[in-house]
């Protein structure tokens, strides 16, 4: 397969496969070896083992009434459960590694982006933050945009903010707002000059910039809403994508270099630990506003009207960090951005197909049960196969060692992106 380099200098690992629809490869994915998991000062990994278990009836056919959730370092021993019969299934929750996420949301403060502002206020918590939390991912949300009650301001209601639009923003543990004017076309520069506090936040919450809120172990997911292309000066570099590919590429290279100059947060040229998700002024591809994958070329068809530029610099950052791009033109379709982004982030930071459990004497499981959170999705039982080489199209699993379960591709495709619980079952 022929490949050619498309990012230069600091993006030296980014290549695309010309024979495969311009598929982008941007270093190892966060869940791969050499990815974004880092060690703490004590030497332990920064990821969190998450296990969720739902007890079942004695027949093994229907969900029971007891729901237990545990977050620890390797799941819990097998336990028995029943809803009243004498015969009980033995079950063991399956645990997976989940890396924390710092979600950095940047929204332009303008009447042009009023639809995006309303969508973020109404959909960010339920459409993006909550699904990640339901998947066992530790999420911190940092909103960088002007707080207030005037046109173009953004004021987050509960459960993230407190809805106090006339007074200062109220920051907590899981949600923080850095209140500053976010200009059209100037998001990247404003992100850089607020990172270290060169442009202060309105309420003085972070004098040294929002970098003080970042967690070194976390994957940084930027979600940017802008109706213009990139055109700004951050005090060090002039960024202007000029609505074309070469300059969009140059903008992405420059922004990446400035981010990576902050050691310990965004990764290195070999292993980046951030992604840029973008909603902007190019026409949507279908009725559901599906996210455009990294391997697809830059989109140039603009929405027209006030959404006058496709944002090629933002698009290059999304492509280069293996994130998604969305049309931001139709305010009625903005809600679809959040769950798609949640699924994409989850697949980067949590491997729900590589699982561990704690064995117990006499525990002889015969299948893995996947119980989706939605009552509209059926419970799936995955049968054991002897080895990965015989998975084929079977919705199955196999053991790797004495305490690790791996799902076959067909089962993995069901589990990825679908909230739910996984457990090993030794049926009654």
Q: Is the pLDDT of residue 96 over 60?
A: yes
More confident residue, 305 or 6: 305
Q: Which residue has the tokens 């097998």?
A: 78
Q: What is the mean pLDDT of the segment spanning 147-162? A: 93
Q: Is the pLDDT of residue 86 over 60?
A: yes
- Position 259 scores a pLDDT of 95
Maximum separation of any 2 CA atoms in the chain, in Å: 73
Q: For the chain, give the mean pLDDT.
A: 81
Q: How far apart are CA 124 and CA 180, in angstroms?
A: 19
Q: How far apart are CA 93 and CA 89, in angstroms?
A: 13
Q: Which residues pair with 106 in a beta bridge?
A: 144, 224
Q: What is the mean pLDDT of the segment spanning 129-149? A: 93
The confidence band for 5, taking pLDDT boundaries of 50, 70 and 90, is very low
pLDDT tens figures, 402-416: 889 999 999 999 998
Neighbours of 198 (CB within 10 A): 13
CB 93 within 8 A of CB 355: no
Q: How far apart are CA 342 and CA 346, in angstroms?
A: 6
Q: What is the mean pLDDT of the segment spanning 106-117? A: 92
265 burial via Cβ count (<10 Å: 0-12, 13-18, 19+): middle
Q: Is the pLDDT of residue 125 over 80?
A: yes
Neighbours of 33 (CB within 10 A): 6
- Position 62 scores a pLDDT of 28
CB 346 within 8 A of CB 135: yes
Share of the chain above pLDDT 70, in %: 79
The confidence band for 135, taking pLDDT boundaries of 50, 70 and 90, is confident
- Position 417 scores a pLDDT of 67
pLDDT tens figures, 18-72: 223 333 333 334 443 333 333 333 333 344 444 433 333 333 332 222 223 333 3
Share of the chain above pLDDT 90, in %: 57
CA distances from 55 to 52, 378, 405, 421, 424 (A): 10, 16, 20, 10, 11
Q: Is the pLDDT of residue 246 over 90?
A: yes
CB 101 within 8 A of CB 78: no
Residue 290 is encoded by which pair of tokens?
């599906």
Residue 312 is encoded by which pair of tokens?
């090629």
Strand runs (DSSP E) across 58-112, as ranges?
63-72, 79-81, 89-93, 95-98, 101-107
């Amino acid at each position: 397969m022929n490949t050619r380099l498309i990012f230069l200098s600091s993006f030296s690992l980014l290549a695309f496969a010309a024979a495969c629809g311009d598929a982008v490869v941007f270093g190892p994915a966060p869940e791969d070896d050499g990815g974004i998991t880092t060690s703490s000062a004590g030497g332990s990994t920064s990821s969190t083992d998450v296990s969720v278990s739902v007890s079942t009836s004695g027949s093994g056919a229907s969900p029971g009434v007891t729901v237990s959730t545990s977050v620890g370092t390797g799941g819990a021993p097998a336990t028995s459960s029943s809803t009243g019969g004498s015969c009980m299934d033995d079950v063991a929750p399956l645990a997976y590694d989940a890396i924390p996420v710092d979600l950095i949301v940047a929204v332009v403060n303008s009447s042009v982006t009023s639809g995006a502002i309303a969508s973020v206020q109404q959909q960010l918590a339920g459409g993006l933050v909550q699904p990640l939390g339901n998947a066992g991912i530790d999420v911190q949300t940092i909103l960088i945009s002007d707080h207030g009650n005037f046109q173009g301001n953004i004021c987050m209601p509960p459960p993230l903010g407190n809805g106090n639009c006339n007074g200062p923003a109220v920051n907590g543990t899981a949600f923080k707002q850095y209140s500053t004017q976010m200009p059209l076309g100037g998001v990247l520069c404003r992100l850089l000059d607020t990172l270290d506090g060169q442009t202060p936040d309105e309420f003085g919450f972070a004098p040294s910039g929002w970098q003080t809120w970042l967690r070194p172990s976390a994957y940084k997911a930027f979600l940017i809403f802008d109706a213009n292309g990139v055109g700004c000066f951050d005090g060090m570099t002039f960024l202007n994508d000029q609505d074309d590919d070469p300059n969009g590429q140059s903008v992405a290279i420059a922004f990446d270099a400035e981010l990576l100059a902050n050691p310990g947060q965004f990764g290195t040229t070999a292993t980046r630990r951030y992604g840029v998700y973008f909603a902007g002024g190019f026409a949507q591809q279908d009725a559901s506003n599906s996210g455009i994958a990294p391997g697809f070329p830059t989109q140039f068809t603009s929405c027209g009207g006030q959404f006058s530029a496709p944002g090629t610099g933002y698009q290059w950052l999304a492509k280069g960090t293996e994130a998604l791009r969305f049309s931001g033109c139709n305010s009625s379709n903005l809600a679809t951005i959040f769950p798609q982004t949640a699924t994409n982030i989850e697949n980067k930071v949590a491997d729900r197909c590589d699982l561990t459990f704690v064995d117990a004497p006499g525990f002889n499981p015969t299948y893995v049960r996947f119980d989706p959170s939605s009552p509209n999705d059926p419970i799936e039982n995955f049968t054991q196969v002897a080895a990965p080489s015989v998975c084929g199209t079977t919705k199955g699993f196999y053991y790797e060692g004495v305490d690790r379960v791996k799902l076959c591709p067909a089962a993995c495709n069901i589990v990825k992106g679908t909230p739910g619980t996984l457990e090993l079952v030794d049926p009654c």
